[in-house]
Amino acid sequence: MSLSGKVSVIGSYPYNPKEPPEDFIRRCLITQMRAGVDFPAAQGARGDMVSMFLTDPNVKGFERIGENGSRYQLNDEPEITGSVQVEDLETIQRLGNEMGYQMVGQSIPVTGPFTLAQSVDFGNPVFNLDRDDREQVLTWIGEMVANIVGIYDERFGGSIIRIDEPVAQSGGLDMFGHQFIAGIWDNILERVANNTPGIHVCGEIAQVAPIFREMRIPEQREMLFSHDFTGPYGKNMGQLTPEWVRSTGAIIGAGVVDSGSHLVESPLNRGLADYIDYQGELVALQDAAELYGRLVDMYGEENLTLHPGCGFGSIMKVMGLDPKKPIHQYIAMNCVVGPKLRILSNLADGSY
């Protein structure tokens, strides 16, 4: 399976906690199908990217703590006793078939061990522990994530299984050695045999690119490195050199549409019509096409795949909309998310 010229997504979408998970997944799939996304996702129906894994009944060893329950006490080496977060992935497959969605596969995001560990205490916050204890806990959590990835790889084929490590761009890896980090990620992605392995880091990747270059990339197989190149993150261009990409066979995920902004500049408290701005969409398409063209010149189209800069989970907050109001959900998904995804499809098929 080649990712070249295909459109995928990173994961999250606007979510109303009162919305049944299947309704949320169906809504996300409809938007992505209309936009021509090859590898759809619908993450977020069971909580945020940390809680959905650490509170899963088949993940043992973590106890929710703190006043707002946003931290987790690790009482023992984590254990996986069954399938983790598989139900929603099966629902995506089933609903896609019912809808006639001719997806190539799924985009399956798995929260990375360093991002999970940022919310975990082992007596003290993990990142405050002595080096040996800190690395031991990360090794445990890394093996847990690897086991989850192994389950996904056995159950689903022809998809992208991608580690998502947003903590990497905020200095969360500074206290670890490059070889240690690369070894943790390698152990996870080596469990991917029937799908395409990948890793996504939000924001600037200057500090992470040297770690990527130390990872083991399997011969004769694609591995996806997906990043945001919009706005201030244009400086990510070239951090992974064209020579390295071509010599390893790596695929660069080109995040060329900004997932954290809306298309129009009008005040946020106005009516629905103010969000339907075809001129704004045209400008966004032109900007994305110019950025993608620069990436094609640098890496070659055969080494690129397309996706948004990150997930869309925060877009309603950015727009000042209420996720509990269906009309606001409609505005976000159909007047912002859908058009941004269509831009990627237009770039992929050359219709720009």
Q: Which of the two residues, 261 and 282, has the higher pLDDT score?
A: 261
Digit-coded pLDDT (tens) for 137-167: 999 999 999 999 999 999 998 999 999 999 8
Digit-coded pLDDT (tens) for 324-337: 888 888 888 888 89
Determine what percent of the chain is predicted with pLDDT higher than 90.
66
User: What does pLDDT average to over the chain?
Assistant: 89
pLDDT value of residue 70: 85
* Cα atoms found within 13 Å of the Cα of residue 63, Cβ hemisphere only: 8
pLDDT value of residue 198: 96
Residue 59 falls in which region: left (phi positive, over 0), alpha (psi -120 to 50) or beta: beta
pLDDT-based confidence at 352, cuts 50/70/90? low
With a cut of 60, say whether residue 270 has pLDDT above it: no
Alpha helices in 156-303 (DSSP H): 178-189, 209-212, 242-248, 278-299
CA distance 66 to 99: 42
Q: Which of the two residues, 120 and 313, has the higher pLDDT score?
A: 120
- Of the candidates 265, 272, 277, which has an alpha carbon nearest to the alpha carbon of residue 318? 265
pTM of the model: 0.91
pLDDT value of residue 71: 94
CB-based contact 205:170 (threshold 8 Å): no
Domains for the chain: give ranges and CATH numbers. 21-347 (3.20.20.210)
CA distance 208 to 173: 9
Angle formed at CA 276 by CA 270 and CA 279, multiple of 5 degrees:
115
Burial of 216 (0-12, 13-18, 19+ CB in 10 A): middle
| Residue length of the chain | 352
With a cut of 70, say whether residue 278 has pLDDT above it: no
Average pLDDT over residues 252-256: 95
With a cut of 70, say whether residue 169 has pLDDT above it: yes
pLDDT value of residue 268: 41
pLDDT value of residue 167: 86
Which pair of tokens denotes residue 42? Answer: 């619908």
